[in-house]
Structures are given as structure tokens and as C-alpha cells.
Amino acid sequence: MKNSSKLIVLLLTLPVFFIGYQVCTSTPSNSNKEKRTGTSDTLTESEAQVIAEQTCIKGGGAVSNPSYNSGTKTWWYDANLNTTHEGCNPACVVSEATKTAEINWRCTGLQEGF
């Protein structure tokens, strides 16, 4: 009976993970990929890349494929990191408002110990 309860829970939560996968692996809009200029609180692609490389990249990794999300005012870079987590596709996300970056692991499925 205990195993069947686990199976039922798994079957009920599986659609949530599939929807989450679609949301987490979709890339931001490339419609504003060109260099941004204007007010002092906007970042150009090259400024955002410097922040991404200084914050997210350690020991030989790289960022690539920049795209700008105008809804969240963030620059997204695919991050080729020396460390990875199974089922994850890391991105370095640079906030235009705070001019800081963080790694968004964009993981799929169940993750343990992370």
C-alpha cells in the first residue's frame, strides 16, 4: 500500500514538473538583443556580459548567447560552468536594476541534496 501511495503522488505531481520544465527551459525574448542605450539604469549587452563573467564564471567557464528580457529587465546568458548539476542547464542572469548577477540553474525533475 505504501508503494502505491508513492506512485499516486508521483503521477499527480508529474504534470507540474512538465509544466515547470517548459517554463524553466524557455529562453527570454530576443526581440531586444541589440545594445541598449539611454537612461543611466539600463545596461548594454557588453556591460551585462562583464558583470556576468565577473560574478558567474569561476575557473575557465564562459557565458554565451545573450538575450534580454524586457519584462524582467534582465540579461540572460547561457553559462558553461566547470561544475554542473544533473538535469540542469545553468544561465547567468544579470539584473538591470541592481547590476548584479546570479546563476539560475534551470533544473528539471526531482533534485536531491542540492
Q: Which pTM value belongs to this model? A: 0.61
Residue 49 domain-assigned? yes
Torsion of CA 41, 30, 60, 95, to 10 degrees: 30
Task: Tell me if residue 68 falls in helix, strand or coil.
Answer: strand
How does the average pLDDT of the chain come out, rounded? 77
The Cα 113–Cα 101 span in angstroms is 24
Which range marks the domain in which residue 73 is found? 2-104
Domain tally, the chain? 1
Is 110 part of any domain? no
Tell me the pLDDT tens digit for each residue of 22-58.
Answer: 545 555 554 444 444 444 568 999 999 999 999 999 8
The average pLDDT across 85-107 equals 94
| pLDDT reported for residue 50 | 95
